[in-house]
Amino acid sequence: MATKDFDYQSFAKNLAQQAQEMVPAEFTDFQKQYVVNTLGNFSMLSGKTLAEDENLHFDAEQSVLITQIIAEWSFHKSVDVIRSGIPQQYWDPIMQKIAYTIFEIAKQTFSQGLPQDKILELIEHHVKKTYVEALGELKNKGAIDEGLMEYAASQSNMDRMAQEMQQQAAQAEAMPEGDNVAGDMQMPVDAGAAPAAFPKVDSKVLKLATVAMLFNKMKQDKVQSILDKFNPEDAQAVIKFMQMPDLPQRVGTANALRCLQEIKTNLPKNTDLNPNKVVLKIRKFASKHSRKEIDTILLSERIGVKRLVFNALEGNYYDKIPPKVASIVASHLCNGV
């Protein structure tokens, strides 16, 4: 039974468009286009098969998930292949083997009705296995040497992106609940200019004014959720400061930066970084939704996020995602759904 209601063409094009924003900046135009085209072509091919093959029995949601898994792994492994330094003529054969493996494992595991975390785990295992085997074949026929094979095998764009997420999360400590607003501030850059109004007032007032500058860069619903945790007098002071059109000039760059550093230093350590607490937080979120609703919510999420959630549902922590990133994901699920 073909999946007639699966618009695979639009979905594959959308995935390719998203990939354009994620391709490593250091890649050449040709390399960037290769990544996008590879993802798009494999997504289109798998989507077409799922939508039109009368022998397959997947619904639209399953077809979307299978296609998305192929797209994500096509993205990561094509980046790995390019970074590995393997000659260009061998890129396509490696990627074709990986895409075929994903499709076959996905068909088998979905048909067997396995839990999605197990499906993703099996696919990840076979992707890595197929990649290493393909490199071994190139080495055995003399196309690459052992050193290049080992270097290529060590490439993992998925792990690299997870590390970058961890670094970004570390920078987010300047405000509660992980908001990385400090990096988005557009403050005056004239460090030599004398601050106009606040240098002689006490540090608490200056800190509240600095917080107001940050809040002006945030979504108002998020601001309100944070202000609710302030005492009423401080909250009112922040609101008044937010209404000052010349607030950045009155605070001054040097004062604002000093206050930000003090705020960051004095923040209590985040107690949600304990993996067990992350698991409990995700399970609490999941308790409010049916399994089908959870699957729908996670359709647009990345493989790592799906693994984190599905492992948590079974009481386990997915340790390939750093606790700080996992905590942010858990908060996103709880607050954003």
> DSSP readout, 185-229?
------TTSPP-SSTTS-HHHHHHHHHHHHHTTS-HHHHHHHHTT
pLDDT tens for 108-133 read 999 888 888 888 889 999 999 999 99
- Closest C-alpha among 123, 114, 116 to residue 46: 123
Confidence of residue 273 (pLDDT cuts 50, 70, 90): low
pLDDT tens for 17-52 read 888 888 888 899 999 999 999 999 999 999 999 888
How confident is the model at residue 321, as a pLDDT? 78
Residue 78 has pLDDT above 90, yes or no: yes
How confident is the model at residue 97, as a pLDDT? 94
Angle between helix axes 303-313 and 116-140 (nearest 10 degrees) is 130
d(CA 71, CA 43): 6
pLDDT tens for 205-217 read 777 888 888 787 7
d(CA 54, CA 37): 27
Question: Which pTM value belongs to this model?
Answer: 0.56
Residue 185 has pLDDT above 50, yes or no: no
**Percentage of residues in the chain having pLDDT higher than 90:** 25
